[in-house]
């Protein structure tokens, strides 16, 4: 039996704008993804007994082909033209579930990376990204992480300058929000216009943490927080405790705030835990493999 271990890092959305509907019915998105050092631990073991099995420390998550990591393994074997010799996937989840932090997507991306390594790199980076996209719009970003501007449904990636080193306080309320439900709430009363992502991308280019915090935006936050007031309460709590900027990430329910010192972040996290039992102090991460999105 050969086992390969990896880390699956969470993401935050520093900006999320919605620019109407596409012909295929999906929303046209523009978003700035940021990888953070909060991660799940993933391992794949090739055991030559046939079939795919999956184990996870969260008993309420599916461990069959409803799990995106399981689907990633199936997709890898199809794309690589490799017959599945028998595979066990183990996931130790730390990233909150249903939080808008790409927990399922990053596990799937990690499985793809690990299997590609385990079988001698049969998939090129381009083919790996294509396989990832078929699993979900966030999965290609999760392959390499870092900081990126994404368009389309989130799959068109352009690398950005790295986020300045800082401390990020992330908290998830006791409830989850599905992506489908978040967009349904938005569609009930869509915004006519969204502020440009330029404030965020320019701040990243200059390495200006204060301007970055001021420029952050999420078009889904207002409608989702209208349905779930605890989200707005958590954002206000972070701001009250000195965050340079605070927003909901993705479709929620997690929120995050930017801090320029560890002391301030730890103090804010202590206050946020009264509202969000799952609260973490994290830091931004650079890309795993520089240059992956230039092609």
Whether residue 149 is found in the same domain as residue 174 = no
Q: What is the CATH number of the domain that holds 69?
A: 3.30.230.10
- How many structural domains compose the chain? 2
Q: Is 295 part of any domain? A: no
* Residue 59 pLDDT: 93
Whether residue 13 is found in the same domain as residue 126 = yes
* Integer Cα distance of 141 and 291 in angstroms: 13
- pLDDT, block means (10 residues), the chain with 295 residues: 94 94 78 97 89 95 96 97 91 97 97 96 94 94 95 82 96 95 90 88 96 97 96 97 97 96 97 96 85 49
Q: Is 294 part of any domain? A: no
Whether residue 22 is found in the same domain as residue 132 = yes
* Residue 292 pLDDT: 58
Q: Is 140 part of any domain? A: yes
Whether residue 211 is found in the same domain as residue 278 = yes
CB 35 within 8 A of CB 284: yes
Catalytic residue among 93, 138, 172, 292: 138
* Residue 206 pLDDT: 95
Whether residue 20 is found in the same domain as residue 107 = yes
- Domain C-terminal end among 125, 159, 193: 159
**Bridge partners of residue 151, in order along the sequence:** 156
Secondary structure (H, E, C), the chain: CEEEEEEEEEEEEEEEEEEEECCCCCEEEEEEEEEEEEEEEEEEEECCCCCEEEEECCCCCCCCCCCHHHHHHHHHHHHHCCCCCCEEEEEECCCCCCCCCCHHHHHHHHHHHHHHHHCCCCCCHHHHHHHHHHHCCCHHHHHHCCEEEEECCCCEEEECCCCCCCEEEEEECCCCCCHHHHHHHHHHCCCCCCCCCHHHHHHHHHCCHHHHHHHCEECCHHHHHHHCHHHHHHHHHHHHCCCCEEEECCCCCCEEEEECCHHHHHHHHHHHCCCCCEEEEECECCCCCCCCCCC
Whether residue 145 is found in the same domain as residue 182 = no
Q: What is the CATH number of the domain that holds 249?
A: 3.30.70.890
* Integer Cα distance of 142 and 148 in angstroms: 11
Q: Is 292 part of any domain? A: no
* Residue 26 pLDDT: 77
The CB density around residue 174, as the number of other CB atoms within 10 Å, is 10
Residue 107 bears catalytic tag: no
Whether residue 149 is found in the same domain as residue 39 = yes
Catalytic residue among 11, 71, 93, 172: 11
- Domain C-terminal end among 142, 159, 176: 159
* Residue 14, domain extent: 2-159
* Residue 70 pLDDT: 97
Please enumerate, as own/partner, the contacts of 125-130 that have beta carbons within 8 Å and a separation of 24 or more: 125/289, 125/292, 125/295, 126/295, 127/79, 130/79
Whether residue 181 is found in the same domain as residue 257 = yes
Residue 2 bears catalytic tag: no
CB 256 within 8 A of CB 247: yes
* Integer Cα distance of 119 and 195 in angstroms: 45
- Domain C-terminal end among 159, 187, 211: 159
């Amino acid at each position: 039996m050969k086992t390969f271990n990896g880390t699956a890092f969470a993401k935050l959305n520093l900006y999320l704008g919605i620019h109407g509907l596409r012909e295929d019915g999906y929303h046209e998105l523009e978003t700035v993804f940021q990888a953070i050092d909060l991660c799940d631990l993933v391992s794949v073991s090739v055991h030559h007994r046939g079939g795919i099995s999956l184990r996870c420390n969260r008993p309420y998550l599916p461990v069959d082909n409803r799990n995106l990591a399981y689907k990633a393994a199936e997709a890898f074997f199809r794309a690589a033209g490799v017959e599945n010799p028998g595979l066990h996937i183990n996931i130790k989840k730390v990233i909150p579930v249903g939080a808008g932090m790409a927990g399922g997507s990053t596990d799937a991306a990690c499985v793809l990376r690990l299997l590609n390594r385990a079988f001698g790199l049969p998939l090129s980076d381009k083919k790996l990204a294509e396989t990832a996209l078929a699993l979900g719009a966030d999965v290609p970003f999760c392959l390499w992480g870092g900081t990126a501007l994404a368009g389309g449904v989130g799959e068109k990636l352009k690398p950005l300058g790295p986020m300045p080193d800082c401390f990020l306080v992330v908290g998830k309320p006791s409830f989850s929000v599905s992506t489908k439900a978040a967009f349904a709430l938005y569609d009930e009363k869509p915004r006519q216009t969204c502020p440009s992502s330029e404030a965020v991308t320019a701040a990243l280019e200059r390495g200006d943490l204060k301007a970055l915090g001021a420029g952050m935006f999420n078009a889904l936050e207002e409608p989702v927080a209208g349905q779930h007031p605890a989200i707005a309460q958590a954002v206000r709590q972070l701001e009250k405790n000195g965050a340079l900027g605070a927003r909901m990430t993705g479709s929620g329910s997690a929120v995050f705030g930017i801090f320029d010192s560890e002391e301030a972040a730890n103090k804010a996290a202590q206050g946020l835990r009264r509202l969000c039992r799952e609260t973490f102090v994290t830091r931004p991460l650079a890309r795993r493999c520089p240059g992956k999105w230039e092609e």
